[in-house]
C-alpha cells in the first residue's frame, strides 16, 4: 500500500455506483486506503431504496466505514455543517471534510462549495475528474475510456464541468494531464 488515505463523500460514490462504474473507481484508486464515514454510508443506503446500484458501495472490499467521536473532530464537523447548511443536508459531506482535516488525509468531494470550504481550511481535496486524469497519467485508463466514464456519470445526474466529448480539452486546460 502506498500509504495515501482517502475519505470519500457520497456524491462520487453515488454517481459511480449508479452508472455501474464502481469497479473502475476502485481500479483508479488502486492501493490507497479508502474509507467513508458512517454518515456517508447512511446516505448511500438511504439512496439505495431509489437506486439499487447504491447497495454495491457497501460491499466494495476497498471501502472501509469509519467513525470518529473525538471532541476535536466534532468541533470540526460542527464548523463544516454550519458552513455547508444546517439540518439534515450535507451531513455526509461535513463528516467527510471534518474526518479528512482531523486525520490529515485526502477528501474526495465533487461538490464545489464543499471543496471550497475544505481548501480554505487546508484540507487536501480531490474530485472524480481529477482521479480520472490521474488514472490517465498513470496508464490505468485511456482518454477514450475516461470520456466514456464522464458521459456515464453525467447520464446519472453528476454535475460536471464537461461531458465526454469535451473532457480531454477541459482536462488539458485545467493542467490535469501534465
Burial class (CB in 10 A: 0-12, 13-18, 19+), 64: exposed
pLDDT tens per residue across span 126-163: 999 999 999 999 999 999 999 999 999 999 999 999 99
Task: State the pTM of this model.
Answer: 0.94
Please report, for the domain that includes residue 122, its CATH number: 3.40.50.1010
Domain that holds residue 79: 1-178
The stretch 43-63 carries a mean pLDDT of: 95
Under 8 Å between Cβ of 110 and 14: no
| H/E element, 41 | helix 38-47
* Per-residue pLDDT at 165: 96
pLDDT tens per residue across span 69-90: 999 999 999 999 999 987 788 9
Residue entry with cell 463528516: 95
* Cell numbers given for 16: 459511480
Computed on alpha carbons and rounded to an integer, the radius of gyration of the chain in Å comes to 16
Domain count, the chain: 1
| H/E element, 107 | strand 106-108
Spatial separation of the C-alpha atoms in residues 13 and 20, rounded to whole Å: 10
DSSP 59: G
Spatial separation of the C-alpha atoms in residues 103 and 15, rounded to whole Å: 26
The stretch 27-44 carries a mean pLDDT of: 96
* Per-residue pLDDT at 1: 45
Amino acid at each position: 500500500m502506498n500509504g495515501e488515505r482517502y475519505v470519500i463523500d457520497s456524491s462520487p460514490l453515488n454517481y459511480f455506483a449508479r452508472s455501474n462504474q464502481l469497479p473502475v473507481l476502485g481500479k483508479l484508486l488502486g492501493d490507497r486506503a479508502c474509507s467513508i464515514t458512517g454518515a456517508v454510508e447512511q446516505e448511500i443506503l438511504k439512496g439505495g431504496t431509489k437506486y439499487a446500484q447504491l447497495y454495491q458501495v457497501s460491499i466494495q472490499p476497498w471501502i472501509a466505514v469509519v467513525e470518529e467521536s473525538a471532541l476535536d473532530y466534532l468541533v470540526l464537523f460542527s464548523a463544516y455543517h454550519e458552513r455547508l447548511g444546517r439540518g439534515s443536508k450535507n451531513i455526509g459531506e461535513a463528516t467527510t471534510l471534518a474526518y479528512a482535516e482531523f486525520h490529515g488525509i485526502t477528501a474526495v468531494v465533487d461538490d464545489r462549495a464543499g471543496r471550497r470550504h475544505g481548501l480554505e481550511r487546508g484540507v487536501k481535496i480531490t474530485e472524480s475528474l481529477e482521479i480520472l486524469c490521474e488514472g490517465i497519467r498513470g496508464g490505468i485508463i485511456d482518454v477514450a475510456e475516461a470520456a466514456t466514464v464522464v458521459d456515464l456519470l453525467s447520464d446519472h445526474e453528476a454535475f460536471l464541468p464537461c461531458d465526454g466529448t469535451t473532457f480531454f480539452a477541459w482536462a488539458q486546460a485545467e493542467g490535469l494531464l501534465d
